[in-house]
Amino acid sequence: MTPLVLTAAMVGAETTRAQPPYLPISAEEIAAEAKRCRDAGAAMVHLHVREPDGKPSQSAELFAKAIRAIRERTDVLVQVSTGGAVGMSVDERCGALTLTGDEKPDMATLTTGTVNFGDEVFMNARPMVLDIARRIRALGLRPEIECFDAGMMDEALNVAKHGLLDLPAHYDFVLGTPGALGASEETLKFLISRLPAGSTWTVAGVGRHQLPMAALGVAWGGNVRVGLEDNIYLSKGVLAKGSSELVAAARALAEGQSRPVATPQQARAILRLDQALQPVAGSAI
């Protein structure tokens, strides 16, 4: 069985300490949590950063600090967010895509469409999507296509048509965001049926859907994202004491089905992170 790539979304942009007091905010807290998540079975962390007062940020400086601190402690892969928080501009959102050398991320997210996000709108107009895709590629990274809705899979094909996404790609189905696509077996089955041949996928269930969706990701040969960004409860009414507890719960689901969890090195191969990008016709990128 292909090992399961477990991703820990430890920080996010919306969760606050008023909910779980365990949310990591400083670079040191983020790095300590990344190490706990790695020890619990995560191969990758999905990274957002915060100002010292907890306000969401996408600043290159804060990302650099967090990535350095993480890499001092653990070999977990670092996938940076380009979504940030609702209302941020593309330039703001792409702070982490200016980092190179030891601070360069391993992967970056790319949301390929606009969607309601709770009572707000997560804006991803088509030119914005292409702009972010171009910046991800210019850094030599492969994106994780974040699908909050089914149409985002079709729009990923448009990004590929522009030469800014290599197919097959890696997708993350984020299911259960209020205002967006719900989390159900039928929905996930439909999305998988629409994947271009050879694609890889992760499922991230929001709120109470997190562990049920994780179980489907394990059983159906996909990969799983858990963590406080998407869900703060370990079980009904019981706050998770950090994302590592949720990683451990997802790992237990995998082991219950005799599926091993991937190491960061295995995850690199599964997600094709080391494969050269195809040259873009007529472009220096």
Per CB under 6 A, residues contacting ligand KMH are: 13-14, 81-83, 85-86, 109, 111, 117, 122, 146
Contact 43, 263 (CB under 8 A): yes
| Least Cβ distance, residue 218 to Zn ion (angstroms) | 22
The candidate with the shortest Cα–Cα distance to 113, out of 133, 141, 138, 96, is: 133
Q: Which is nearer to ligand KMH, 169 or 254 (CB)?
A: 169
Which SS3 state, helix, strand or coil, does residue 201 take? Answer: strand
The candidate with the shortest Cα–Cα distance to 267, out of 5, 34, 80, is: 5
Instruction: Give the residue, chosen from 79, 81, 202, 231, that forms a contact with Zn ion under the rule CB under 5 A.
Output: 81
Residue 124 binds which entry of Zn ion, ligand KMH, none, with Cβ cut-offs from 5 to 8 Å by kind? none
Residue closest to Zn ion, measured at CB:
81
Which SS3 state, helix, strand or coil, does residue 242 take? Answer: coil
| Least Cβ distance, residue 198 to ligand KMH (angstroms) | 23
| Least Cβ distance, residue 150 to ligand KMH (angstroms) | 17
| Least Cβ distance, residue 84 to Zn ion (angstroms) | 8
Residue 117 binds which entry of Zn ion, ligand KMH, none, with Cβ cut-offs from 5 to 8 Å by kind? ligand KMH
In angstroms, the first-to-last Cα distance of the chain is: 36
Of 50-58, 76-84, 245-253, 266-274, the segment contacting Zn ion by CB under 5 A is: 76-84
| Least Cβ distance, residue 88 to ligand KMH (angstroms) | 9
**What are the two backbone dihedrals, phi and then psi, of residue 126, each rounded to the nearest 5 degrees?**
-55, -45
Q: Which is nearer to ligand KMH, 83 or 176 (CB)?
A: 83
The candidate with the shortest Cα–Cα distance to 206, out of 239, 232, 185, is: 232
Contact 230, 253 (CB under 8 A): no
Which of positions 232-261 make contact with Zn ion (CB under 5 A)?
none
DSSP 222: -
| Least Cβ distance, residue 18 to ligand KMH (angstroms) | 17
Residue closest to ligand KMH, measured at CB:
83
Contact 84, 58 (CB under 8 A): yes
- DSSP lists the bridge partners of residue 116 as 121
Residue 57 binds which entry of ligand KMH, Zn ion, none, with Cβ cut-offs from 5 to 8 Å by kind? none
DSSP per-residue letters across 129-159? HHHHHHHHHHTTPPEEEEESSTHHHHHHHHH
**Binding status of residue 210 toward Zn ion by CB under 5 A:** no
Binding residues vs Zn ion (CB under 5 A): 81
